[in-house]
Structure 1
Amino acid sequence: MIKGFIFDLDGVITDTAELHYEAWKKLSDDMGWFFDRELNEKLRGISRMDSIKVIMDHNKVSLDEATVEELATKKNDIYVDSLDTMTEEDFLPGAKELLTHLRAEGFSVALGSASKNAPKVLQQLKATHYFDVVGDGNSVEKSKPAPDIFLFAAEKMRLPADNCIVFEDAEKGIDAAKTGGFYSVGIGPEERVGHADLRFDTMKEATLFEVKSFFSDLF
């Protein structure tokens, strides 16, 4: 039986993707590195340190670990400053409604995000009260596609993986859910999240009614 829901943050609850893109673009421009939207897509769902290494690899750049960490921190500072512009209006259409329905029906709800800034984003959205558990980039060492963040969230909710549905918009996130033994709902195009158990183009379509209908034998 499904008793818990675990949500990724970026691209599922809200879309901070543009803010991330602008921060990586500024850092790359400052460093004289190539960075565009196509390369940015490769960063979807992975940690900050993994992201900067993808950019460096693309630019055939090698730096010592201390410098890499310094640059990753610089990018994060640019991004965090931009979060102050976020408000309750920045929920993706359908996300707030789904969270409200889950709360009303008594399901356990967790966040399972690679972002270390997830608590700040939830605070800006005034969304903290929707979540029983917040798993973020500080919660586990291995980021997606390792299932650790989802396993952490399930453990904190005191639920086995097969009692939970994960909502993800990244290929690596769906990979992580499958590896961990979770049911999965993909948000986004077929080529990115088509390997999820159930897929919707947008969160607006991912109503609790639709999810329950598809997983009818689990409710």
Structure 2
Amino acid sequence: MIKGFIFDLDGVITDTAELHYEAWKALADEMGWDFDYQVNDKLRGISRMDSIKVILEHNNTSLEEDRLAELATKKNDIYVASLENMTPDDYLPGARELLTHLRTEGYNVALGSASKNAIKVLAQLNANIYFDVIGDGNSVSKSKPAPDIFLYGADKLKLQPEECIVFEDAESGVDAAKAGGFHSVGIGPEERLGHADLRFDSMSEATLFEIKSHFKDLF
């Protein structure tokens, strides 16, 4: 039986993708690196340090680890400053409605995000009331596609992976859910998330009714 839901943050609850893109773009321009939306799309669901390594690989260059960490921190400072403008109006359509419905129905809910700024984003959205457990980039050492962040959430909820449904917008996130033995719901295009157990183009389509209809044997 399904008892818990675990949500990624960026691209599922809210869309900070453009803010991340602008921060990486500002850093890349300063460093003279090539960076565009195509490269940015490869950064979905992975950690800050892994992201900068993807950008360096794209530019056929390398740096010492301490310099990488310094630049990743610089990017993060740009991004965090931009979060000050985020408000409770910045939920993705359908996200707050689903979270509210899950609260009403009494389900356990966890956040499973690679972001180390998840607590700040949740505060800006006034979203803490919807989550029993917060798992973020500070909670585990291995980021997606390793299943650790979802296993952390399930453990804190005192649930088994097969009792939880994971919501993800990243290929690596669905890979992580599958690796951990979770049921998965993908939010986004078929070409990126066709391997999820269930997929919607947007959160507005991902109602609890639709989820229960698909996983009817689990409710």
TM-score (norm 2): 1.00
> For this pair of structures, how many residues does the alignment match?
219
Confirm or deny that 1:98 pairs with 2:98.
yes
Q: CA deviation at 1:19?
A: 0.1
1:78 match: 78
2:45 match: 45
Equivalence map 1:127-138=2 (5 Å) = 127-138=127-138
Distance 2:64 2:169 in 1: 32
1:184 match: 184
Q: What residue identity is the alignment partner of 2:113?
A: S
Distance 2:45 2:139 in 1: 15
Q: What residue identity is the alignment partner of 1:137?
A: G
Distance 1:159 1:30 in 2: 46
Q: CA deviation at 1:133?
A: 0.2
Equivalence map 1:153-172=2 (5 Å) = 153-172=153-172
Q: 1:14-47: per-residue Cα shift (whole Å, max 9, x none)?
A: 0000000000000000000000000000001100
Distance 1:101 1:110 in 2: 14
1:147 match: 147
Q: CA deviation at 1:60?
A: 1.2
Q: 1:170-196: per-residue Cα shift (whole Å, max 9, x none)?
A: 000000000000000000000000100
1:69 match: 69
Q: Percent identity?
A: 76
2:197 match: 197
Q: CA deviation at 1:61?
A: 1.4
SS of 2:162's equivalent in the other structure is: helix
TM-score (norm 1): 1.00
Distance 1:61 1:122 in 2: 35
Q: What residue identity is the alignment partner of 1:65?
A: E
Between 22-31 and 54-63, report the one with greater CA deviation.
54-63
Confirm or deny that 1:5 pairs with 2:5.
yes
SS of 2:34's equivalent in the other structure is: coil
Distance 1:63 1:7 in 2: 34
Q: What residue identity is the alignment partner of 2:189?
A: P
Distance 2:112 2:141 in 1: 13
SS of 1:149's equivalent in the other structure is: helix
SS of 2:78's equivalent in the other structure is: helix
Q: 1:96-116: per-residue Cα shift (whole Å, max 9, x none)?
A: 000000000000000000000
2:29 match: 29
Unaligned runs of 5+ in 1: none
Give RMSD over aligned pairs: 0.3
